[in-house]
A and B are shown apart, each in its own frame.
Chain A
Amino acid sequence: MSAELGTLALSLVALLGFGVSTSLGSALAWPALRHALRRSHPERSARCLFAFATAATWLPLLLLCLCLAPGFLALIGVSQDHCLRQADRAHLCFAHPRLALTLPLGIVLSAAIAVLVAGSVRGARRLARWQRELTGLRLVGGEPLAAGARRIESLRPFSVTLGLWRPEVWVSSALVAALPSAQLAIVLEHERAHVRRRDSLRRLVAAVLSLPQLPAVRRRVLAELALACEQACDEAAARLGDRLAVAETVLAVERLIAQATPHPSLVGFGEGGVAERVRSLLEPAPAEPASPLHWWLGTALAIGAVCLAHPLHHLTERWLGWLLSVL
């Protein structure tokens, strides 16, 4: 049992190493990626940004699975046993675990499990709290406004899509009263696009899985993802007819909110999303993504993974061996 725990601790050290490498790689790749995505369709940008934001979690896990794959493949008889040739190194193999759980590895294992459990419990509690808040609002407030949308009595002008699993559109009575019906239809179409795309869920998953990213990079990627989601919904609303009308509606709502803000000093000011969205809507409609990029990327990733499994496994063992000798 101690040997299995030793291998588990070794795997966690490898995972940590992959995580740090991915975060640093993401930080280096971010400026170029951002530049490239600014020119693509917001739908595609949002998908790429989601994959990029969450890469700090899924890529290290994928790399660890690849490292462990040769041992498992040998165990089920798919490939030759590679273990005998690697006897003298830190051995990443659950089929033939060799490394006993030492005190430093035990500390790594316990700390990793403690951080993971504490973070998950804390996150789940916070999420449950906001879900309860939304459930309360759903039960108590609002009257039907249009399909999938509710009107809520409030002096504040706003329109939001609330909820993760079953998002709903909520529009305040102040906004309904202030906007002409054509602009209200644009607002509703924009919000319905958020519902169809499940943007709140997408952004929450991105926020959680991007936690291992460097904080400055994470902040920028999540802000860019939020902007891409808004722009994708603007494009959906623009399909009703006029891109300029969508730009005017964004500005009209921004002006209404600015006028109704009771303490302007308490809110942030910036170029932010509104300016980017309006400028983008003044440009011609971006071309729809021609090919399903994610299929190509997925296929390339799968082929790369198969080719890389063995070299990565041995490279990681060598690196872990060096690390253990230093420690």
Chain B
Amino acid sequence: MTQRHGLALGRLETVVLDQLWAHGAADVAAMHARVGEPRRLTRNTIQSTLERLYRKGLADRYKRGRAYEYRARLTRGEWLTQSLSRLLDATPGADSALVLSAFVDLAERTGEANLEALEALVRRRRRERGDPA
């Protein structure tokens, strides 16, 4: 089995994973009832989606009778942290850095000495303006 954590997911994969987090382990039939039928998707589509999640290392599967039961390998929080990290930890100029704008650059720090100097500058300007401390 190839385990490739951190691959971007398709929309259906995300929905299925979300269901695994919300309702716990499920086999293909149960997932089809929850996700496939409302969207008029075939059982095969749901089966291959669960299979892809398993191959990407985001779901585990166990044999239950004649069917596999799937459960999420990561918690929702762990997955969110991984996904966000891929976006936020991108070096400046990387692809992912281009699809987001951060309030303060997340990849480059100002440095303690510069930060203190800037804070002192702002405090002095407040004093000059007569603002309360």
Q: Which residues of A contact B (CB under 8 A)?
A: 126-127, 129-137, 139-141, 152-154, 156, 158-164, 187, 190-191, 194, 199-200, 203-204, 207, 219, 222-223, 226, 229-230, 233, 244, 247-248, 250-251, 253-255, 257-258, 261, 264, 267-275, 278-279, 282
B10 contacts which of A127, A132, A229 (Cβ < 8 Å)? A132
B104 sits at the interface (CB 8 A): yes
Q: Is the CB of B112 within 8 A of A163?
A: no
Q: How far is the CA of A33 from the CA of B87 in the complex (A)?
A: 32
Q: How far is the CB of A175 from chain B (nearest CB, A)?
A: 8
Q: Is the interface of B mostly helix, strand, loop or mixed?
A: helix
User: Which residues from 58 to 108 on chain B have a C-beta closer than 8 Å to any C-beta of chain A?
Assistant: 76-77, 79-81, 83-84, 86-88, 92-93, 95-96, 98-108
A residues near B98, Cβ cutoff 8 Å = 200, 203-204, 207
Contact B93 A222 (CB under 8 A): yes
Given A133-B8, A135-B14, residue A160 in contact with residue B125 (CB < 8 A): no
Q: Is the interface of A mostly helix, strand, loop or mixed?
A: helix
Within the assembled complex, what's the spacing in Å between the Cα atoms of A95 and B79? 59
- With A137-B84, A247-B122 as known contacts, state yes or no: A269 contacts B104, CB within 8 Å: no
Chain B residues within 8 Å of A139, by CB: 11, 14-15, 18
Name the interface size band of chain B. Answer: 35 or more
Give A273 Cβ to nearest chain B Cβ, in Å: 5
Q: Give the one of B13, B76, B98 with max A CB within 10 A.
A: B98
Contact A278 B122 (CB under 8 A): yes
Chain A residues with Cβ below 8 Å from B101 are 160-161, 191, 194, 199-200, 203, 229-230, 233
Say whether B84 contacts A152, CB under 8 Å.
yes
A274 touches B8 (CB 8 A): no
* A131 to B10 alpha-carbon distance, docked (Å): 10
Q: Which residues of A contact B30 (CB under 8 A)?
A: none
On B, residues with C-beta under 8 Å from A are 8-11, 13-15, 17-18, 21, 76-77, 79-81, 83-84, 86-88, 92-93, 95-96, 98-112, 114-115, 118-119, 121-122, 125-126, 129, 131
Closest Cβ–Cβ distance, residue A65 to chain B (whole Å): 28
Q: Is the CB of A127 within 8 A of B95?
A: yes
Cα-based distance from A134 to B108 in the complex (angstroms): 23
A278 and B118 within 8 A (CB): yes
Do A164 and B110 touch across chains, with their CB atoms under 8 A apart? no
Task: Evaluate contact between B121 and A255: CB separation under 8 angstroms.
Answer: no
